[in-house]
Structure 1
Amino acid sequence: MSTKRFAVRSAALTAACGITALLSTAPAFAHVSAQPGEAAKGGHAKVAFRVPNERPNASTVQIKVTFPEDQPLSSVRTKPMPGWTAQVERVQIAPVQVAGSEVKEAVRSITWTAQPGNRIGPNEFNEFEATLGTLPDNVDSFAMPTTQTYDNGEVVNWDQPTPPNGEEPEHPAPTLKLVEDAEGGHSHGGEEEQAAAAGAGDDTARWLGGAGLLVGALGVGIGAGALARSRNAAPTGKDES
């Protein structure tokens, strides 16, 4: 095979690998999701609701997260976000036992609303953070249906459960996978400790996502450069292929 033909094929392969790396990071930003996506049963968890703006000509101005009535949360703390207000709705319920504690008042929802002049614009995303507790200890997942409201009046419902086969629906509800802690019991540690651990995991996920984008971009650039050089190079000998 000639040097020129080898360079062309190498360029195409490198570019394809770069594009694959770029596409592999896309699903993380394709819909509203709960990060880091996993929490300990019966404990508290710091969660970031990651909200991408999916409309090219409208902006997101409100996010409402609703918690399941049959898995009541006893407490929620929201992290202040400049330019947005957070409203927590609480309701009285018949006493139930959650992770060994009696719950009489449950958190029904959190609504984040943009103040004038603020929004999530096209090609942007934002994260809304909250600490949730106490999570149930008798289920393996915790779904949190969410509505996303745009400034043109459109409302998108992220409320579809993931079927048993694991295939992601068109509008999946943000969901936490609930697991036993490393010692085989439930995690009942302080909220600060739980939040620090969750935050560290989220930072790692963001770093890996950024690294994937960088590798993909480099792959595309290298492939394009090699292809251009191969086209401009003068023939050095007879093609032996």
Structure 2
Amino acid sequence: MIPTREPAPVRPVGVFAESRRLRLVAATVAGVLGGVPLALADAEPAAAHVVVAADHPVAGGRNVTIRFTADADGASTGLTAVRVLLPDGLGPRDVRPAGAPAGWTFTAERDGYQVSGPALAAGQAAVHAVTVAELPRNTDRLAFRTVTTFSNGATARWVDLPLPDRPEPANPAPVLLLRSASSSASVRATPAGTPPAADNPAAPLAVPRAAGHGLLPAAKAALWAIAGLAVLLAVGLAGLVARMSRRRRGTVDTPGSR
């Protein structure tokens, strides 16, 4: 009698291959989704704007107080400094401090100035003001390129100049629009008895919590791209799961079927 031999166990090669691919796709999806919070954390300063306003924005206006609000919307660290590059027609000698967060100081520089001090609370806007002796006469707008610094050393450069009929740049510089002197008659006068902000340069300004401006266009596009990639990978993962399930329910190759 010829001794019989037990057939060698059949190795479900297709199932193991599917499992390896499944683990690979799952790891890729986890890596992409896990990187989203890191990408948002690295881009914290890019989620806010610097806004500029003036009490008398008229070309050639004198003793005009300009107020800057540097938002920190969504940031996990506080602002420590705001540096402003003055536009053409204005120099450091033309401006003087008119208010800043408590404990912050004003420092004149070659091409502008900086206000800095102890870190503000995370997400809190840095509001400061300067008084300009006389605004330029030959322009209808002033761009103040601004760099903000956070307590962790990160900086946000709001230095891109907006162009007419073009989308807003990724990091727009704050722009103050000026009226012509002929149209200034319609501007309401300051009520009597209200002292100008420049009368007390050391007085701290109220620093509100940053108002949400939403994500910038570039940040939105990046997040949509990441979300789309994650969806595609998730669909692929679902397809692999379905294929593996069908393989397991089907007939596994045996020696007698070859």
Q: Does 1:32 align with 2:50?
A: yes
2:77 to 53, 58, 64: 58
State the superposition RMSD in angstroms.
3.3
Displacement over 3 Å in runs of 4+: 181-185, 192-196
Mapping of 1:77-156 within 5 angstroms?
Answer: 77-81=96-100, 82-89=102-109, 108-114=111-117, 118-156=118-156
Counterpart Cα distance in 2 of 1:143 and 1:56: 25
SS in 1 for 2:178: strand
Which amino acid is 2:114 matched to?
Answer: T
- The answer to which structure, 1 or 2, has the higher relative contact order (CA under 8 A, 6+ apart) is 1
Distance 1:120 1:170, change over 3 A: farther
Q: 2:146 touches 2:157 (CA, 8 Å); kept in 1?
A: yes
Q: 2:119 touches 2:150 (CA, 8 Å); kept in 1?
A: no
> How many residue pairs get matched?
146
Q: 1:65 touches 1:147 (CA, 8 Å); kept in 2?
A: yes
Provide TM-score, normalisation by structure 1: 0.52
Match for residue 157 of structure 1? Answer: 157
**Higher strand share goes to which structure?**
1
Deviations 1:42-99 (A, max 9, x none): 113211110111453221101001112x32345111024321011123x5xxxxxxxx
SS in 1 for 2:52: strand
Which structure 2 residue ranges, 5 or more long, are not aligned? Answer: 1-46, 198-207, 212-258
Distance 1:80 1:178, change over 3 A: closer
SS in 2 for 1:62: strand
Structure of greater Rg = 2
Match for residue 201 of structure 1? Answer: none
Counterpart Cα distance in 2 of 1:194 and 1:42: 21
Report how far residue 37 of structure 1 moved: 8.6
Provide TM-score, normalisation by structure 2: 0.49
Distance 1:38 1:163, change over 3 A: farther
Mapping of 1:209-220 within 5 angstroms?
Answer: none
Match for residue 76 of structure 1? Answer: 95
Q: 2:89 touches 2:136 (CA, 8 Å); kept in 1?
A: yes
Seq. identity, %: 24
Deviations 1:135-192 (A, max 9, x none): 111111111100001111111110111111163222111111111135569x9x9xx9
Match for residue 59 of structure 2? Answer: 41
Counterpart Cα distance in 2 of 1:193 and 1:167: 40
Distance 1:133 1:168, change over 3 A: farther
Single out whichever of 35-44 and 45-54 deviates more from structure 2: 35-44
Q: 2:82 touches 2:115 (CA, 8 Å); kept in 1?
A: yes
Which structure 1 residue ranges, 5 or more long, are not aligned? Answer: 1-28, 92-107, 197-205, 210-241
Distance 1:139 1:150, change over 3 A: same
